[in-house]
Every structure is written in structure tokens, then in C-alpha cells.
């Protein structure tokens, strides 16, 4: 009955009061079933899950083209000449799928950028017209397979930059969440209630960091000749100590929680970097367990990539600029009053993150090198991938430390200004 009434209201068209009619229409759609929301109405919260599903399917297609493309695509003249590298057909196929998806999300970015209110044409295009958008995405992917090889190689070079942009956006989003959580726990409203939880969470973060470092020493430094891994892990300890020391400085007074959570992220990046090394000489593992670990790592990395892109895409507020500071992210998540017809998240930023995320996942599948041989069921393996992760770790620490020091520097400059 409710679904029938919802459909009837959608077919009735605009009434005398268009604003109230749009608000009632949107409320009825949100209150309806999942299928009614998808089929008959525009719901931006439902739309983000659909875009994420499309993103996941596109990445699975890119993986299938990489692992099974050399056999399935040998009859395509456009992909035959690949500088004599057998697996380059699969890598080139990944770039073609990625390029088609990138064009789709970039078109969506241009079409929805600047949307501030619900019920407008841009919001309707973002949250509905699914048949047209799915057809557009499939068409763009298919057309990319008929483009000259030179264009694909140029896109491959551009994708390196786009992937770096995605890593930077993801980094800012993660630090923004960590600082928001810390500010929330230390606020007057939740200070007494969250004190115990705050200490337990901070302690658990440091325990996991130390445990992760010990396990990396055990698994990835079985002999003293693994100097590079020893350096990576030891330097990670130094960075963790540096973040903790600066956070506890009297002028900063950021507490234990933020460096602990950042330590988890830094240790994870170090582990990811070492896991990306193509050489197994410094890995304490048997062949059978290695195969299962590769398969599990691939599935986890794929799902983590989609979740990271999804969560980052709806976090446009982490890039807002404060009025009294050039660029900090420590208070970007503070609650703000919104009108009922304001968009729940930045549509343009959402699609921009997905566009750069497509480039990033393509780099993971080809090991950041279109002429690098990748084994089946592997992701982000190669020395280039290793150093990308390590540099990402170092940049993350620098951004976090700058976030702590920037307010102090800015205040000191403001104090010296009038003089």
C-alpha cells in the first residue's frame, strides 16, 4: 500500500507548492522499501552504495582482465603489440578498464560539482537515472578498448599522479577522523564519560603497535642480511616515538590517543610496504601458506580499497579551511547546523574521490608499472609498490606533525604581527 502511494505521488508531478511537494516526495521515498528507493526515487544515501557497488564490479573486471585477459584478448589487434612482455596485455587491459571508469566518474564530478541543495537537477542526476548511468559506464569501458595504445600509455602516466592524489585525500581523511575522535573524547560534554574508554583505546593502540612491530621483526627479518626490512621497521619505531613525544609536549598537549591511532596507521603502512616486496628471501613462510596468504590478502585488499574509497568520498568536510588558520584539519568534523534540504555530503567531491580511486586501484593491480609482471591473485606487489607505501608512511607522519605544530606557529606569527 505504501509503495503504491509513493509511486502515485511520483507520477502526480509538481503541485501548487513545489518545495513542500519535493520534501514530501523525498520523505516518502526514504521511508519506502530498498527497491522503491532505488527504482522510483532519488536518495543520495542510497546512491553512494550503488556507486560503491559499481566501483567494486569495475575493479573486479580490471582484475579479471589482468589475470585472464592475455588469453581472452589475444584476438584484439589493438592489444597485440605490447613490447614483447607476455603479461603486458593484462596490464594494458587494466588501464583500459580504469580509463573508462575514470571518464565516467569524472563526468559525474563535472555534472554534480557545486550541488548544495536537494531536489535539484544535479541531485536528481546523482541519485537516480541508474539505467542511463550504468549504460554510460559500460559504453565508456568498451570504447576504451578501441583507443590507440599510445593514449592508454599516456593515461597510465597520468594515473600515477591521480593515485597519489587519492593517497593524499585518504591520508587527510584518516587524520581528520583521528583528531575528531580525540577532540570528541576530550570535550567537556564527554570528558568524564569517555575517560576510561579513552585510556583503554589509547593503551590498546600502543599494545597493537608494539605487537605488530615485534611480529614484523619475526616474520620479515629471519636473517641479518635483510637490512632493508630492518631499516623500515626500526625507522617506524622512531617515527612512532617522535609522534608520541611531540604530542605530549606541553605546548601541544594532544594526549596519547592521536599518536597511538596514527601509530596503528603507520605500522600498517610499514607492513604493507614489506608485504609488497617481490622477493621472498626475507619472508618466514612456507609455500602452501604463502598461496593462501596471497589469496586472503587479495580479497582483504580489494574490500579495504572499496571501503576506503567509500568512506573518504563522503568526507568532504575534512578539506574545509578554518577562518583563523590557513589549512588545518583538526576541527573539520565539528557538528554544523544544516537545513533539511542541504545535501548530506559533497557530490562532486564524492565522484572526484572515486575517479582518483579508480586510478589508484589500477596502480595496485599493475604494481605501479605497466610493464611489470604480476602473478595471479596478487595485488600491489613490486619494489615500486614498496617504496610508494614507505613514502606514504613518511608523508603521513609529516602531515600529522604539521597538524600539531601549525596552530602554534600560526599563533606565534599572529602575536608578532601587530608589533
pLDDT of residue 333: 46
CA dihedral in degrees (187, 193, 195, 200; nearest 10)?
A: -120
End-to-end CA separation in angstroms for the chain: 72
Q: Are residues 244 and 351 in the same domain?
A: yes
What was the pLDDT predicted at 394? 94
Q: Which domain holds residue 64?
A: 42-334+342-416
- Could you tell me the CA-to-CA distances from 6 to 3, 19, 37, 393 in Å, in that order? 5, 17, 10, 50
What pLDDT does residue 201 have? 87
Q: What is the pLDDT of residue 125?
A: 84
Q: How many structural domains is the chain composed of? A: 2
Instruction: Answer yes or no: do 245 and 356 share one domain.
Output: yes
83 plus 29 within the same structural domain: no
Residues 167 and 279 in one domain: yes
The reply to whether 278 falls in a domain is yes
pLDDT reported for residue 391: 93
Shared-domain flag, residues 139 and 263:
yes
Whether the CB-CB separation of 358 and 105 falls below 8 Å is answered with: yes
Judgement on whether residues 27 and 96 belong to the same structural domain of the protein: no
Cα Dmax for the chain:
79
Q: What is the pLDDT of residue 338?
A: 57
Mean pLDDT by 10 residues, the chain (419 residues): 46 46 55 55 75 88 79 53 49 88 93 77 81 92 86 90 88 83 74 77 91 92 87 95 90 84 92 85 60 62 70 60 41 51 77 90 84 73 88 92 85 66
Same domain, 7 and 95: no
Whether residue 107 is found in the same domain as residue 90: yes
Residue 289 exposed, middle or buried by CB count within 10 Å (0-12, 13-18, 19+):
exposed
3-state secondary structure of 251: coil
Whole-prediction pTM: 0.77
Question: Tens of pLDDT along 271-289?
Answer: 989 988 887 778 765 444 4
Residues 6 and 80 in one domain: no
Report yes or no: 274 and 215 within 8 Å, Cβ to Cβ: no
- 25 inside domain: yes
Residue found under cell 621497521: 233
Place of cell 595504445: 149
Task: Give the Cα separation of 61 and 391 in Å (integer).
Answer: 29
Amino acid at each position: 500500500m505504501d509503495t503504491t502511494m509513493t509511486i502515485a505521488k511520483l507520477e502526480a508531478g509538481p503541485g501548487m507548492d513545489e518545495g513542500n511537494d519535493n520534501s514530501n516526495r523525498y520523505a516518502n521515498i526514504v521511508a519506502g522499501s530498498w527497491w522503491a528507493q532505488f527504482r522510483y526515487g532519488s536518495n543520495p544515501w542510497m546512491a553512494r552504495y550503488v556507486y560503491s557497488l559499481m566501483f567494486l564490479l569495475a575493479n573486479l573486471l580490471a582484475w579479471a582482465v589482468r589475470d585472464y585477459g592475455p588469453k581472452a584478448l589475444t584476438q584484439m589487434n589493438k592489444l597485440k603489440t605490447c613490447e614483447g612482455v607476455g603479461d603486458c596485455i593484462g596490464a594494458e587491459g587494466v588501464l583500459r578498464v580504469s580509463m573508462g571508469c575514470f571518464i565516467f566518474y569524472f563526468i559525474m564530478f563535472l555534472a554534480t560539482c557545486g550541488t548544495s541543495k536537494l531536489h535539484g537537477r544535479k541531485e536528481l542526476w546523482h541519485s537516480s537515472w541508474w539505467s542511463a548511468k550504468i549504460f554510460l559506464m559500460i559504453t565508456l569501458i568498451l570504447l576504451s578498448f578501441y583507443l590507440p595504445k599510445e593514449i592508454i600509455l599516456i593515461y597510465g602516466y597520468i594515473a600515477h599522479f591521480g593515485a597519489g592524489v587519492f593517497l593524499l585525500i585518504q591520508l587527510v581523511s584518516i587524520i581528520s577522523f583521528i583528531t575528531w575522535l580525540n577532540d570528541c573524547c576530550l570535550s567537556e560534554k564527554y570528558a568524564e564519560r569517555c575517560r576510561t574508554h579513552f585510556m583503554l583505546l589509547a593503551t590498546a593502540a600502543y599494545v597493537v603497535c608494539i605487537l605488530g612491530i615485534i611480529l614484523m621483526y619475526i616474520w620479515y627479518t629471519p636473517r641479518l642480511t635483510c637490512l632493508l626490512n630492518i631499516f623500515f621497521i626500526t625507522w617506524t619505531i622512531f617515527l612512532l616515538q617522535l609522534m608520541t613525544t611531540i604530542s605530549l609536549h606541553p605546548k601541544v598537549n594532544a594526549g596519547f590517543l592521536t599518536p597511538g591511532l596514527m601509530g596503528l596507521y603507520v605500522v600498517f603502512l610499514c607492513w604493507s610496504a614489506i608485504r609488497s616486496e617481490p622477493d621472498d628471501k626475507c619472508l618466514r613462510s612456507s609455500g602452501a601458506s604463502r598461496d593462501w596468504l596471497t589469496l586472503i590478502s587479495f580479497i582483504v585488499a580489494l574490500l579495504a580499497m572499496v571501503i576506503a574509497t567509500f568512506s573518504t568520498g563522503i568526507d568532504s568536510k575534512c578539506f574545509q579551511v578554518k577562518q583563523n588558520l590557513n589549512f588545518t584539519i583538526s576541527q573539520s568534523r565539528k557538528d554544523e547546523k544544516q537545513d533539511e534540504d542541504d545535501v548530506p555530503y559533497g557530490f562532486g567531491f564524492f565522484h572526484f574521490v572515486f575517479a582518483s580511486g579508480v586510478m589508484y586501484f589500477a596502480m595496485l593491480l599493475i604494481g605501479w608499472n605497466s610493464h611489470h609482471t604480476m602473478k595471479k591473485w596478487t595485488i600491489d606487489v613490486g619494489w615500486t609498490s614498496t617504496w610508494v607505501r614507505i613514502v606514504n608512511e613518511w608523508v603521513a607522519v609529516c602531515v600529522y606533525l604539521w597538524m600539531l605544530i601549525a596552530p602554534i606557529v600560526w599563533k606565534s606569527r599572529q602575536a608578532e604581527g601587530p608589533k
